[in-house]
A = this chain, B = another copy of it.
Amino acid sequence: MEQLSIKTSTHDYPVVIDQGLRFKLKSFINKDYPSVYIMTDSNVAPLYLDDVYNTLKDQFHVTYSIIPAGEESKSSRVYFDLMTQLIEAGVDRDGLIIALGGGMIGDLAGFVAATYLRGVDFIQMPTTILAHDSSVGGKVAINHPLGKNLIGAFYPPVAVIYDVETLQTIPFREIRSGYAEIAKHSMIHTPPFWDQIKSVTLDESLSETTLIRDLIHGINVKANIVEMDEREANIRQFLNFGHTLGHAIESELGYGKMTHGEAVAIGMLFAMELSEQHFSVSLPVDAFYDWMKRNNYPLNLPRLSVNRLMERMKRDKKTKNATIKMVLLKALGEPILVDMEDVSLRQQLESFLEKMVIR
């Protein structure tokens, strides 16, 4: 069992990583909660809801809600429905919410927990690799029709319980998506981490030992940053490496066409190329491109409107005063936030997209 502890302005919480943790959940719940409410999605429920429910039902009054899988559920309608269900289930301010699922569930249930009766405790139980990122750090949110995660809060969980057995059931597409965020953590960290990642191949040969090693390393990078900057006043923005263009591509294609991680990987590739030019440095762009190719990340894009991508990048939350700010790298492990000049950014984006369409 691996365990680390994360400091926040209000409390510390543990991140526990091991196999079969869903059967040992009780040992991580230290309070006598009068009610426990599990929120999960329609993909995860058939696989793991019973395990979690049965583990808790003797000691707690447990109820649950199964939410349709998919990003569309991070909506104001579902959010409000969950509020109604909590009230009707009689959950009071001493209740506990458990978010059992991937990033969608963690974000949605977390935002419900942050705002139900002005905040109740919640536990993150991530079931995807991508959620190694989103479950740590306390960012919770729902989407607005005009953009992702525009309504939300910083609200840390009371624990992250990561049962890596639940990762066995996720498809390779999701493994790729999650590993892109691990690769991101490796690039904003000192080089040995990227050296470790670049030799990983995402197929049947991926061992649980390798996966756990990389998850822990990724969570550690994230934890160090969010501890220093809980509310994203400065260095936490480094975690957006690859996300400025990534988010824009993701929403321009329409959610679901490309996974979050796949879009972010393309965004990282662009950010690395920009960084090389901006700082006249050399970065492992080719090695990262090869890694993406070997692991079947999409490297061909349909023709996209540069104008619209620029617009979306401006509307990105990281953007202040309509200047596009991007995280670039001076070197591996040396991220820096840069105000980009509109004209040159547009040029470089055009030539990058041209390559991505033809190569």
Chain A contact residues, CB within 8 Å of chain B: 9-10, 34, 76, 80, 83-84, 87-88, 90, 92-94, 111, 114-119, 139, 141, 144-147, 149-154, 231-232, 317, 319-322
Contact = CB atoms under 8 A, between A and B. Distances in A.
Contact of A87 (B84, B116, B146): B146
Nearest to A9: B9
30 contacts: A9-B9, A9-B10, A34-B321, A80-B144, A83-B150, A84-B144, A84-B145, A84-B146, A87-B144, A87-B146, A87-B150, A88-B146, A90-B322, A92-B319, A92-B320, A93-B317, A94-B320, A111-B115, A114-B153, A115-B115, A115-B151, A115-B152, A115-B153, A116-B150, A116-B151, A117-B317, A118-B231, A118-B232, A119-B153, A119-B154
A3 to B, nearest CB: 26
A34 B152 contact: no
A9 B156 CA distance: 15
Contacts of A145: 84
Contact of A76 (B80, B117, B150, B153): B80
Q: Of A94, A117, A154, A231, which is in contact with the most chain B CB atoms at under 10 Å from its CB?
A: A117
Contacts of A114: 153
Interface centre among A114, A115, A116, A154 (most CB of B within 10 A): A115
